[in-house]
Chains A and B, each alone.
Chain A
Amino acid sequence: MLARLMGLFLLGLIRALTGAQARWQGCPPKAEQRIYFANHQSHADLILIWAALPSELRSITRPIAAKDYWTKTPFKQWITTAVFNAIYVDRAKTGDQDPLEPLIDALQNGDSVILFPEGTRGNQEEPQAFKSGLYNLATRFPQVVLVPAWINNVQRVMPKGEVVPVPILCSVTFGAPIALGEGEDRSGFLLRARHAVMSLRDT
């Protein structure tokens, strides 16, 4: 109940501040199992892409949250679990545990996931090189549709180190799905995926 109210409040707040407009250019919003992968420039990316999805898809789509940041305080932890239904990923590799494991569990349950393949937030114009997680998931789950997305302007709403957001319009552009080619190697696929995200910037 509290989580629902918090969700509604956050949605209203985000719409008032940023518009959180979704632009479905390469594919329609559809309830099939998908991996959305996007550029990452701010912690607010997670919230924005969550708000941009239609409510039917929001309930079956789980964003990925960096464990060290989003579990720092009880409030952050509550918001990511109860409101966003996020999957925590450990950015600092500990032992021989596979950091992708929680993601694999979620995909096996039939959920869609939102992934930021850069791993960390960038502060350059262009996204950094993609990490191999996306490739590993694509090989493991060939039936899941891979949808690139470009998140525009969020770093201006809340630059690194600031706490109060500024009202600036943001949008999320969803592009045409890509698929892992027959025998395509890892670096080629990751370059192509990064390019698919970047090509959405100016459309």
Chain B
Amino acid sequence: MSSFLRNLSPSHQVGLLFVMVFGLLIAASIAALVMSLRDDGDKEERTEDIRELSSLLNTSWIMCTVFWVGWALGDTVATLLFALVAFFALREFITLSPTRHGDHRSLLLAFFVVLPAQFWLVITERFDLVTVFIPVYVFLAIPVVSALANDPQRFLERNAKLQWGIMVCVYGMSHVPALLLLDFPDYSGKNAFLVFFLVFVVQTGMLVQHLAARRWPKPPTAPQVSQTFHWSSWLIGLAVGGFVGGLMSGLTPFKPAQAVAMALIACVAGSLGHLVMKALKRDRGITNWGNEGKSVTGASGLLDRVDALCFAAPVFFHSVRWYFDL
């Protein structure tokens, strides 16, 4: 079995992976459908669970399709797709941060200059610039444009919010396609596995953490921010994420121990980033960016789904590049 897999060409291996993932998704969707058809009284909590599950499944379908289209059409198209996701995520973020007239030019800069420039740097594989362009150069450029707008009211707060939005949505998201373009020795054509590895371990860690918090409810560590976050369920999620990462080491250029370490790094960054985003949402007085289509803003909640990835990707990318000296 394993020698059969090894003898397949890289693109066949990746194709097989997609067949498996879509097969799993189909099975899960059918299971969810059967569950929703089964009638066992009208328990409020149960229908809530099923709705949450089906929304999670919908996002998984969309994300997997995006990955698949990206892989099938090549790295450049994949990068452009991620740029589009970053655009929509930043749009949601900015919608819920109050801006003033004086921010208009800075916002234009963020959406129409910084975002395309960052993803162009990714496509052209200027990785040194990819990692410093936003934290160093944009960090200065945005407040300069704001200052020229001649509006000092809440200046620091407004600029900090904008810089934060760019860091999370553009900088974080751009590191996912950057993984596709990293040049590992003896690993060409298989970089899609690296993205899959990252997404899968982070999502597994988050899911296990969520389930563990449900199964063994404990008083939350930071109840003002998150009703479910607790160090013990967090550790369980982390352990499972790391373990799954170790199991998947065959797919990656890492040895098993390295894979576990990389998975742990990604899980820590992702789950804690998710917690930080929760605090941000609480500050804005909302429970999630989308609010199930009920909010006045009409946001669809894309940012809820990708925030963990946005925090995990840059850290993961940097660790991989630094450790393997690429």
Contacts and interface: CB of A to CB of B under 8 A. Distances in A.
Contact of B95 (A160, A164, A168, A202): A168
B94 A167 contact: yes
Contacts of A159: 101, 104
Interface in A100-143: none
A152 interface: yes
Interface stretch (A60-68, A69-77, A169-177): A169-177
A58 interface: no
A3 B233 CA distance: 58
A169 B99 CA distance: 13
Interface string B266-300: 00000000000000000000000000000011111
A171 B291 CA distance: 14
A166 B111 contact: yes
Nearest to A202: B296
Interface string A148-170: 00001100100110101011111
A169 B299 contact: yes
A170 B87 CA distance: 15
Contact of A153 (B87, B90, B95, B101): B95
A23 B104 CA distance: 27
Nearest to B296: A152
Contact of B297 (A160, A167, A169): A169
B87 A167 contact: yes
B236 interface: no
B101 A168 contact: no
B297 A152 contact: yes
B77 interface: no
Nearest to B297: A169
A23 B298 contact: yes
A159 B95 CA distance: 15
Interface in B45-99: 87, 90-92, 94-95, 99
Contact of B108 (A19, A153, A164, A203): A164
A166 B300 CA distance: 18
Chain A CB count within 10 A is highest, among B87, B90, B95, B299, for B95
A201 interface: yes
Contacts of B99: 156, 168
A81 interface: no
What range describes how many residues of A lie at the interface? 20 to 34
A162 B104 CA distance: 8
A153 B111 contact: no
B107 interface: yes
B114 to A, nearest CB: 13
Contacts of A164: 108, 112
Contacts of B299: 19, 169
Contacts of B90: 167
Nearest to B112: A164
B296 A166 contact: no
Given A19-B298, A173-B296, A166 B107 contact: yes
B92 A169 contact: yes
A193 B203 CA distance: 49
Nearest to A19: B298
Given A153-B95, A156-B99, A169 B298 contact: yes
Given A167-B87, A167-B94, A169-B91, A153 B104 contact: no
Contacts of B101: 159-160
A166 B91 CA distance: 9
A160 to B, nearest CB: 8
A173 B99 CA distance: 22
Nearest to A158: B104
Interface of A: 19, 21, 23, 152-153, 156, 159-160, 162, 164, 166-171, 173, 201-203
21 contacts: A19-B91, A19-B298, A19-B299, A19-B300, A21-B298, A23-B298, A156-B99, A159-B101, A166-B94, A166-B108, A166-B111, A167-B87, A169-B91, A169-B92, A169-B298, A169-B299, A170-B297, A171-B296, A171-B298, A173-B296, A202-B296
Given A167-B94, A168-B94, 7 more contacts: A19-B91, A164-B112, A166-B107, A166-B108, A167-B87, A169-B92, A201-B296
